[in-house]
Structure formats: structure tokens, C-alpha cells
Structure 1
Amino acid sequence: MELRQLYYFVKVARKEHVTQAAEELHVAQSAVSRQIHQLEEELGVKLFLQKGRNLQLTPVGHLFLKRAEVILADLDRAVVEIHEFLDPEKGEIRLGFPHSLGVSLIPQVVAAFRKHHPNVKFRFRQGMYPSLIRDMVKGEIDLAFISPFPDEHEHVCGQVLLTEELYAILPPTHALAGESSIQLNQLKDETFVLFSEGYSLRPIVWEACQEAGFTPKIGFEGEETETIRGLVAAGMGVSLLPEMALHHTGILQPAKVRVEQPHVTRNIGIIHRSNEKLSLVAKVFHGFLLHYFNEKKHEE
């Protein structure tokens, strides 16, 4: 069994399509198909079944995928550890984070860190809460910014870095757009623009509305803060967004109003695997984050 076969197998399993896997691997489709066939012959089992134009893992294929992912993750970690041993300042950090932090927070933090560690490389992975937890447990990322912060989890641990306030955002022509603050129940009859199911900000807004005594009427759903902000600015409804998602300029901008009751916030934390030591370079970055956000708190 060759290592290349494992790489090809995992890529095909994730894409569920040989052609797409070959494109990402930058090899011929025939080469991928040949390696998968040889792997199945060596194992004596079928790893995939044809389902239309796509491939579907067999039960034994699912079992083999779990083991193959662990093997490849361990190999990646071994390569990183060797590079760090030769020069910790030239290591790589695999960092996960939700989409809502990718606009400003992540670029600011990474830029500040690289002022002191210019040769450290980053490999980023964006995702929703469940996928970030899953990628962390599987060993595919070293650290992850996450919100909400998990109070208890069997496989991950970490620290809360900051608590961020959520503001009501309204169309510029809305009757409450000029107010300095509002009660959330003043929006009970409005149409809301919310994140789609699976995004961590959605339940925060939903629960805040429930606390205010009403169930939000959802008119539109989106997957990016820019989409939510743009729809509200265009008069499609109202919403709640964290402060860092509102530091933008452009033609379409919603009105930003503080919510007094209930006070709506979200916790943002950094997590890592609880049963594994951080690599040297990830440990340095983790320490930097704790210091960075502690200093930010004192500046406020």
C-alpha cells in the first residue's frame, strides 16, 4: 500500500467525485481511478459504489476513511514537528475560524503576530461550529477560533478571548434608525434577515428574541455577514450583528443601534485538542493570543 493511494482515496471520499478529486490533486483522472482500483484490490474490498455521477463510500469505506484520515493527519503533524525542530520560527499553524471572523479579526491578529514571527506560515480553514469541532477532533487543525465557546467538551478545551456585543441593524429609513438605543421587542413586528441553520449567530439572535417575548419572523437567510448587512441596508428587514461585522464602508450601509434589553452578546474563544500537546509554534501563537486579547480588554 502506497501513501499516494491514501491521499487519493481520502480526496475522492471527500469530493465524492473522481474528476473533482483529480483536479484538486493536479493529476489525470485515470491516475486517480487506477490508484483507487489498486487499493481496493490490495484490501480485497469495494471502498466506493457508483451513485449517478458521484461515488458513495461503502460501509467498509467509511471505516477505512476514518483510519486513513488519522494516518495522514499524523504524518502532516510529523512533518511540521521536524520543521519546528530545525527552526521553530518557520513552522506552520493550521487555524480554523468561523466566516464572521474572517473579515477583520483574523487578518488583524495574524498580521500582529507575524510582525514578531514573520516566517511562521498559516493554513486557514473556515467553517461553521460543528465542522470546526469535527476538524479539531480529527486533528486537521491545531487551533480554532470558535463562537459560542463550548462550556464542556470531551475532546477540546480552551479559553474565552473576548465577549462581543451584538447591535440591531436597521434600514437607514427605518423609524428607529436615529435612536441611540432600543428595546429588542420594538422589532417584534419586523421581518428578520438571519443566518442560515448551522451558523452560530442564528441561535444567539433567535434566543434573544425569545427572551424579548417574541419569535422572529424570518424573511431572508444568508451565509455571510456582508449578505445580511446588505439585505438590511436595502430595506429587506432587520437583524442583529456583532460590532466587528459593522466596521465597513460602502454605498449600502444599515443603521446601527444598541440593544438595551436584552443585552445581546457572543463569546469568542480559542480551542485545541485536550488530549494532545500543542506544537511549539502553535503554543507560541496561543500564548500571543492570550496576551493580545488581554491587552485589548485593558485598552477598553
Structure 2
Amino acid sequence: MKLEIRHWQMLKALSELGNIAQAAEALGISQSALSHRIAEAERRIGGKLFEKEGRRLKLTPAGSLITKVALQTLPVLERAEADFEQNAHLEKQIVRLGVASYSCYYWIPDFIKFVNQKASHLKLRLVASATQNPISSLQHSSVDIVIAPGYLATPGILNTPLFMDELVLVIPYAHPLSHQAFINPEDLRDIQYYTYSQTVLPGFEYERFIRPSGVIPHQVEVVEMTDAIIELISAGLGVSILSKWAINAAIESQRISSVQLGQKGLDLAWSALTRESEKKNSASKQLVKLLADWHKTS
């Protein structure tokens, strides 16, 4: 490898701060030393990384490409060091876990108790940012396991089935529709409908239930947090279609109700996503096995 870690750190600092004075201060070196470091990196790599634009440095097209890698890679290395420092002083191995699409963690306390009984050397850490970008979070190593609905076929990502769920209509408690055995798309035509994503996800309600009927709800509002959607529905302000497992705590507390979609219902599979590169008996794979075992018994 032609560049050293100090050169990658330089690229990150200059990209984020934009001028030599601030980047040099952030790196703890003089402006002259930073200029020499830039020249050294360009000599090693065999091309210009930056060009001057007034008092600021502007990345060349080739410089932009290599800096993008620096911005992705250095945080991963920093997290790896932080994890090592924590694990070096603890007997427990930390596993970072997130839930894709739905921010539901009501089940976490019971699962942590299960983990403590079965594998006390593992420590669970929740990563909320994985909800919106599960694959990217795994690829960039900001999370170790993502519990995800549907099937996300991605190279380098291992998919371990966990349990079967269903998509349901979520309505206020004691809503008139709660007395029906199931609902049809026509029931959504003139009602306020909340969705947590504008993106049409394969295998979810729009593709499998709404679009085939040709009946599109007239009043659709995007609310990107499922917790907020539940609050709005509980207050009688509309309905949504969500994972029954994800909203189970709110159903049990009788804040909301759910109704089956269509005569046959709409099933939804949940899986644990991990990196294929993980070793066979890594802490992440141990936790995935515990997740699968726990869901079988819970």
C-alpha cells in the first residue's frame, strides 16, 4: 500500500475542513508539515489530489474518489480501536444490534435476560441509526447485527431467518374497522393513511396489497418514525399498515388495534443480517443463534 494512515487522516481532515490552516491544527502539525505531507502523498500515489481555488484547496476528481474511501474507512478503524479498548478491559464481548425499518425495542429487556443466562460473556449495545440504513450500517461496521423485515439479498450480507410475522392495518383502539375479520384496500380509500417511507419496498403492503387493487388512499402522509405513527393513530388521527410484531406492545396496552389485510393475510418474514466475513464462532454469530433460539421459545 502506497499511502500510510497519516495520509488517509490528512485526506479526511482536508475534506471536512477545506483549508490547510484548520486541517493542520486538527492534525496537530504545522501548515508547512501538512503541505509537505500532501506533496508526499501525491508523489507516492502518482497524481494530484488537490488543486487551489482561492485560499481553499479543492479535490481533483481522482482526489475525490480516494477521499471518499478515507471518509468511509477511517471511522471503521476508529470504532475497531474503541471496541478493542473496551473489550480489552472487560470480560464481555460487545455486539452492536439494530432493527431495520421499525424502531421497536419493547422486547429487548427480556432478550437481554435470556442472553445473560445463556452467554454471559456477550454484551448487547443498541444502534438506532441502523433503522434507516441497515445494509450500509453493516457494510461500514457501525453495527454487527440488524434484525430486518422482508428479504434483503445483498452480496457479502448473510441472512439468517428468525420468525414469521404479518403486516396488519393499525387503527385506533375500538375503531369501527376493528370489528371486521379483515379489511380490503377499498377500506383505505377515504381515510388518513400514514406511511413511514416514500420508497416502495418489495414484499411490503404497497406492492402486495394496495397497488394490485388499483385503490390508492387519497390522504397519504409520510411520517418517518413508527413511534410517531403509533401516537398519531392512538389519538384517532389516522391509520397505517405496519408489522404486527413491531407494534405488539402498543396493541397489548390497548392503545391501538390491528386488523388482518385481506382474507389470507399478508405474511412478513424477519431475519438477522450479518456480514459474511464474520468468523464462524464470532460474538455476532453467537448472538444471532441466541436470537433464533429465543424467538422459538418466546
Query: Does the CA contact (< 8 Å) of 2:13 and 2:23 recur in 1?
Result: no
Change (3 A) 1:49 1:170: farther
Label 1:250 to 1:281 Cα distance change in 2 as closer, same or farther (>3 A): closer
- Between the aligned partners of 2:149 and 2:94, the Cα distance in structure 1 is 24
Aligned with 1:273 (options 272, 275, 285): 275
Work out whether 1:43 is the aligned partner of 2:44. Answer: no
Show structure 2 runs of 5+ residues with no match: 40-48
Shift of 1:195: 0.9
Question: Do structure 1's residue 206 and structure 2's residue 209 form an aligned pair?
Answer: no
Whole-angstrom CA distance in 2 between matches of 1:48 and 1:197: 41
TM-score scaled by length of structure 1: 0.70
**Percentage identity across aligned positions?**
18
Whole-angstrom CA distance in 2 between matches of 1:36 and 1:197:
48
Task: Evaluate the alpha carbon distance shift between residue 63 and residue 118 of structure 1 in structure 2; reply closer, same or farther with a 3 A threshold.
Answer: same
Structure 2 letter corresponding to 1:43: I
- Alignment map for 1:257-296 (pairs within 5 Å): 257-261=259-263, 263-277=265-279, 280-296=282-298
CA deviation after TM superposition for structure 1 residue 222, in Å: 0.8
Match of 1:196 in 2: 197
Distance in 1 (CA, whole Å) between partners of 2:125 and 2:116 is: 14
Judging changes above 3 Å, is the alpha-carbon distance between structure 1 residues 262 and 139 closer, same or farther for their aligned structure 2 residues? same
Query: How much is the aligned-residue C-alpha RMSD, in angstroms?
Result: 4.3
The answer (yes or no) to whether the contact 2:196–2:224 under 8 Å persists in 1 is yes
Q: Distance in 2 between matches of 1:203 and 1:287?
A: 25
Equivalent residues of 2:12, 2:67 under 8 A apart: no
8 Å CA contact retained: 2:251, 2:257: no
Instruction: Find out whether 1:142 has 2:136 as its counterpart.
Output: no
Where in structure 2 are the equivalents of 1:95-244 lying within 5 Å?
Answer: 95-98=97-100, 100-127=102-129, 131-150=133-152, 152-172=153-173, 174-198=175-199, 204-207=204-207, 208-243=209-244, 244=246
- In structure 2, what residue type is equivalent to 1:42? R
Higher mean alpha-carbon deviation, 208-217 vs 126-135, is at 126-135
Relative to 1, partners in 2 of residues 1:236 and 1:62: Cα closer, same or farther, differing over 3 Å? farther
In structure 1, stretches of 5+ residues that fail to align are 19-27
Instruction: Look up the equivalent residue of 1:294 and give its one-letter code.
Output: K
Which residue number corresponds to residue 63 of structure 1?
Answer: 66
Question: Per-residue CA shift, 1:131-182, capped at 9, x if unaligned?
Answer: 21112223333222122222x3222112121121122122457432333433
Shift in alpha-carbon separation, 1:17–1:149, aligned structure 2, 3 A: farther
> Shift in Å at residue 270 of structure 1?
0.7
The residue identity in structure 2 corresponding to 1:245 is I
Amino acid of the structure 1 residue aligned with 2:26? V
Change (3 A) 1:109 1:185: farther
AA aligned to 1:210 is R
Q: How many correspondences in the alignment?
A: 278
2:112 is paired with a residue whose SS is: helix
Bigger shift: residues 224-233 or 63-72: 63-72
1: CA distance between counterparts of 2:10 and 2:125?
A: 20
